[in-house]
Amino acid sequence: MYKEILKKGSVLVLTFMVAVLLSVGSVLSFIPTDIKIFANETKIIKLPLKEVTISVVPEKMLIPGGHSVGVRMNVKGVLVVGLEEIETPEGEFVNPGLSAGLQIGDNILDINGTKVNNAKEVREIINEIKSDVRLKVKRKDDIIDVKVTPVKSVDDNLFKIGVWVKDRTAGIGTLTFIDPAKNTFGALGHAITDPETSTILSVAQGELLNSKVESVKQGKAGTPGEIKGIFYESDKPLGKLTINTEYGIFGETYDTVINPIYSEPLKIGYQNEVEKGPAYILTTLDGDKIEKYDIEIEKINRQSKASIKSMVIKVTDERLLKKSGGIIQGMSGSPIIQNNKIIGAVTHVFVNDPTKGYGIFIEWMINYSDVE
């Protein structure tokens, strides 16, 4: 009898312990592992039974952008944007690069240990060696070696490896912010990519230039609009482009950049401060004049990892709708301001509805603004 009572008692104790553990686990699941405390806040945090990481985030003050800017960039290495067959003097059609395993999107960094920066250098080294060459190639995040045997082309008697390459690019976008404390800038809110390969281009050298909007092509459902502009004062660039990332381009300013609408920097708003409802963007659609345009934040995607699709915005300003039809190419990087804080930047337009688009949280951009 005692054994039976003891057995039942043991079962009850075990059941109770399991219930307690499940309850504790349930409570712990609601405790975050990473907590941000802003510099202007004081909090006492008691988190029993769990180790957490507490990040003290300094209050950031930035000069908002909205300026139309030109980007001129030399690519690090040379980017393979196409592969072609070469006709040899023997009448054969071969593609040495393809046979060796080269792919569109590969970045050729050096040939036989000699760095290459443009198509001309590739051509000169290939025709100096005229035999097997070893290419150091960056493919996404990997560095690989590729052995290629050039062939002589019947067209011009030059040795070739059958690749089309690109070594530079240029375009128009919008400045997002300037950090006056560090003389750095952020722009675009997304990467500069090669249109043929969608590869994010690595920066060898690059500059941010003044730009004037010359014309605006309206966006329509299925057909994105576009800002067309020209570079000016190219001998006096605004800054040095240092890094091209998925979340924007960043670099160092050469001189003071001012915003005529704001004489003082604004605080930034982190994602926990972003609200659905009215906000506005700063952008340039006429010459070099920055203007405010009303938008509505329709959806907020709370994120623990960086993404260029942090929120969905809709243009509500009749002036902007009449001028551009909504969000168009060249407006990427336009700062989004709500409650007098910079909370993000425009990144993409909805192809089938140009009145809507995506925005990125400003906190994801400032993570990359501390350039070396």
The question of whether 194 is a catalytic residue gets the answer no
Q: What is the pLDDT, as a whole number, of residue 42?
A: 41
With a CB cutoff of 8 Å and minimum separation 6, the contacts of 69 are: 172, 173, 174, 175, 187, 208, 209, 210, 211, 238
Looking only at Cα atoms, what is the longest distance across the chain?
Answer: 103
Contact by Cβ (8 Å): 356, 233: no
Q: What is the pLDDT, as a whole number, of residue 99?
A: 92
Q: What is the pLDDT, as a whole number, of residue 199?
A: 84
The question of whether 332 is a catalytic residue gets the answer yes
Measured CA angle at 243 (ends 237, 249), to 5 deg: 70
The question of whether 190 is a catalytic residue gets the answer yes
> Given 211, 332, 334, 369, which residue is catalytic?
332
> Given 190, 194, 310, 334, which residue is catalytic?
190
Q: What is the pLDDT, as a whole number, of residue 40?
A: 43
**pTM recorded for the entire structure:** 0.77
Q: What is the pLDDT, as a whole number, of residue 39?
A: 47
With a CB cutoff of 8 Å and minimum separation 6, the contacts of 182 are: 369, 370
Q: What is the C-alpha to C-alpha distance for residues 295 and 134, in angstroms, rounded to an integer? A: 53
Q: What is the pLDDT, as a whole number, of residue 345?
A: 98
Average pLDDT, 10 consecutive residues per value, the chain (372 residues): 53 55 52 50 50 62 96 88 90 92 91 91 93 92 93 93 87 95 94 84 88 92 90 88 94 93 94 97 96 98 94 97 95 97 96 95 86 48
Q: What is the pLDDT, as a whole number, of residue 123?
A: 92
Measured CA angle at 244 (ends 137, 73), to 5 deg: 80
Q: What is the pLDDT, as a whole number, of residue 203?
A: 87
Instruction: Give me the domains of the chain, ranges plus CATH numbers.
Output: 24-59 (no CATH), 64-73+170-366 (2.40.10.120), 85-161 (2.30.42.10)
Measured CA angle at 187 (ends 181, 193), to 5 deg: 140
